[in-house]
């Protein structure tokens, strides 16, 4: 007499083989196309993210190249310096000083920064440019309380000059993308303002009247 219940092993084998047999080449191919499509979409997303990062990283390089091209186009060959060349060099110096300025400057450093900016307005080789810069400092006194404050001030001042010249304003929140400070290749802390001050003090330097008496 046969059993009323099927053999479990035979039943599972039949279900499994039946499932395999029911898959047609068309359904198998469709599943393969879905997997290929998902991989392709993943690659596209990765390429998009990589492109965005590259575009951001190369912004400063493109701006430097444009500035170099402009400088070459207006460079004098008779030994004189044009106002455009002088202006670019001045802003490069000011922004680089701001980029290297300490986040917590000493009283001497704050005084030196204010004095430097005040002196520059009177000694600037272009009289009209110096007068305009002095007017900016009177209306918006240089903030030398911290590195961020000085960087923001130099950017505001630069944008005010750009507005007078009909040039586009620079996005000050992107300061560090454009002006990152001095690149030192000597492998030490030669570009570190605070480290320089510490070395001077170690050699016997001291502060008198708010200024360092050694250089």
- The answer, yes or no, to whether residue 168 has pLDDT greater than 90, is yes
- pLDDT for position 10: 65
Kindly state whether residue 65 falls inside one of the protein's structural domains. no
Count of CB atoms situated within 10 Å of the CB of 152? 16
Kindly state whether residue 10 falls inside one of the protein's structural domains. no
Kindly state whether residue 184 falls inside one of the protein's structural domains. yes
Kindly state whether residue 130 falls inside one of the protein's structural domains. yes
Kindly state whether residue 58 falls inside one of the protein's structural domains. no
Quote the pTM value: 0.56
Span 148-175, mean pLDDT? 95
Kindly state whether residue 143 falls inside one of the protein's structural domains. yes
Overall number of domains in the chain:
1
Whichever domain contains 94, its CATH number is 1.20.120.310
Kindly state whether residue 114 falls inside one of the protein's structural domains. yes
| Cβ atoms of residues 206 and 213 within 8 Å | yes
Q: Which domain holds residue 196?
A: 83-212
- The answer, yes or no, to whether residue 193 has pLDDT greater than 70, is no
**pLDDT greater at residue 184 or residue 171:** 171
Kindly state whether residue 181 falls inside one of the protein's structural domains. yes
Grade residue 208 by pLDDT with cuts at 50, 70 and 90.
Answer: very low
Task: Provide the CB-side half-sphere exposure for 204 (13 A, CA).
Answer: 0
- The answer, yes or no, to whether residue 16 has pLDDT greater than 90, is no
């Amino acid at each position: 007499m046969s059993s009323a219940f099927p053999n479990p092993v035979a039943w599972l084998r039949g279900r499994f083989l039946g499932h395999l047999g029911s898959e047609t080449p068309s359904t198998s191919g469709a599943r393969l196309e879905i997997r290929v499509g998902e991989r392709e979409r993943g690659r596209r997303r990765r390429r998009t993210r990589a492109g965005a990062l590259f575009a951001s990283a190369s912004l400063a390089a493109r701006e430097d190249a444009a500035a170099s091209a402009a400088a070459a186009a207006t460079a004098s060959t008779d030994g004189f310096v044009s106002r455009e060349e002088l202006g670019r060099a001045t802003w490069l110096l000011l922004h680089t000083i701001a980029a290297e300025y300490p986040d917590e400057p000493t009283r001497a450093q704050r005084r030196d920064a204010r004095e430097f900016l005040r002196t520059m307005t009177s000694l600037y080789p272009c009289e009209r440019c110096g007068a305009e810069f002095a007017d900016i400092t009177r209306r918006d006194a240089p903030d030398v309380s911290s590195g961020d404050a000085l960087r923001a001030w130099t950017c505001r001042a630069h944008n005010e000059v750009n507005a007078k010249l009909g040039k586009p304003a620079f996005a000050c929140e992107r300061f560090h993308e454009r002006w990152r400070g001095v690149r030192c290749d000597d492998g030490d802390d030669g570009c570190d303002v605070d480290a320089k001050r510490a070395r001077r003090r170690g050699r016997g330097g001291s502060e008198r009247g708010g200024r360092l008496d050694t250089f």
